[in-house]
Amino acid sequence: MGRQSVLGLAYPVVAEPAVPGLPKELCLKWFYQAEAVRALNQKNYELSRELTEKFSEQGARTAILKGQANSRLYPNKFIRQTGDVDLWVDGGREYVVDLLSRMGLLDNALFSRHEVTLPASVFGVEVEVHFDCIYDCSNPFANKRLKRILAEELQKNQLVPEGFYVPTNKFALLMQLSHIRKHFIGLGVGMRQLIDYLVLLRSASSAERSEVAALLKPLGLAHFAAAVMWILSEKLGLESDCLLCAPDAYRGRVLLREVFADGNFGKFSGRKRGSVYLWWLRNRLRVFTLLRFDFAEVSWHLLKYWASFLRLMPERIGALRRTRKGVPRDTRIIRRRR
């Protein structure tokens, strides 16, 4: 469970007065870990409410994405293992960066394609401030369509009892499906993200699920959705009326094998053993093996990766030469794609 970041799900079990057959040491270990998960959830709920109020005072529209927005949908909203806080702020990159500067929040921040990441030293937990909705299709045509749909849905955010705004279920189902696929093709994805998706599907109405199902093929998400539906129905017990499409056993088994092998976001992958060059080579070879899984998306992923690789090659060679000559490399902001 630790490899998949789902230890918090043991909380309802260890909270019982007596658990037959469970060793006392294991019971205590799970209990303390579950309490730590509960405490971090509580902290992130409070921080999400605090951030909503802070940005609202500045006249900005916001929404909490993923983490706490998902966690609140669980039967026990404190059992999901959570990490950073994802905050969407309306207005675009220039407006959001200027707003963060005026609020004095840009010290040691990192910039990437979708967000500004504020270090844990600012609020006690790392906060990703998104100035754009997360759209993660490698196919540029599907990506453009997805961005348009998500941007429209972000205008329908709703305030929840926890004191912050969340996007619609339609937004969450589309964005998180594309986001899970991005991590799957990239470095790996874990069971926590799939359980999140199961909870989202059960929380959505049949009309919302139908809307999302109709968009799977136009957005190039049909193959991956079929794999996810197989795991959720065959292994996690999702009801048939909650499925977005017919399950695909072949693709589902491929996805499940990768989930078990790599753990949460690929952190436990065997590909990471050895030198950085072996790690790079193994990752590149792995992506080629996924062509049968989703030929169109993986092809676009490979095209974009190698185009970027070749474009940056002269700069990397120059940096390597300067380093060998003892010349300090330029300090640059590292772009992180999450």
The answer to whether residues 140 and 123 belong to one domain is no
Residue 331 clears pLDDT 50, i.e. is over it: no
Do 53 and 140 fall into the same domain?
Answer: no
> Which residues form the domain of 63?
1-131
Asked, for residue 208, whether it belongs to a domain, the answer is yes
DSSP H helical ranges for the chain:
11-14, 24-57, 67-71, 93-102, 120-123, 140-153, 169-185, 191-203, 206-215, 222-234, 249-262, 276-289, 295-324
> How is the beta sheet containing 110-111 ordered, strand by strand?
62-65, 85-89, 127-130, 115-118, 110-111
Last residue of a domain, one of 99, 131, 163: 131
What's the domain count of the chain?
Answer: 2
Tell me the β-bridge partners of 64.
87
Is the same domain home to 224 and 109?
Answer: no
Asked whether residue 338 is domain-assigned, the answer is no
My answer on whether 124 and 240 are in the same domain is no
Last residue of a domain, one of 131, 146, 173: 131
Share of the chain above pLDDT 90, in %: 61
**Beta carbons of 8 and 33 less than 8 angstroms apart:** yes
Task: Note if the pTM is more than 0.85.
Answer: yes
pLDDT tens sequence across 103-156: 999 988 999 888 899 999 999 999 999 998 777 899 999 999 999 999 999 999
- pLDDT tens digits, one per residue of 299-312: 999 999 999 888 88
User: Do residue 70 and residue 182 come from a single domain?
Assistant: no
Residue 159 CB-density burial (10 A; 0-12 exposed, 13-18 middle, 19+ buried): exposed
User: Measured between alpha carbons, how far is residue 124 from residues 15, 48, 82 in Å?
Assistant: 28, 12, 14
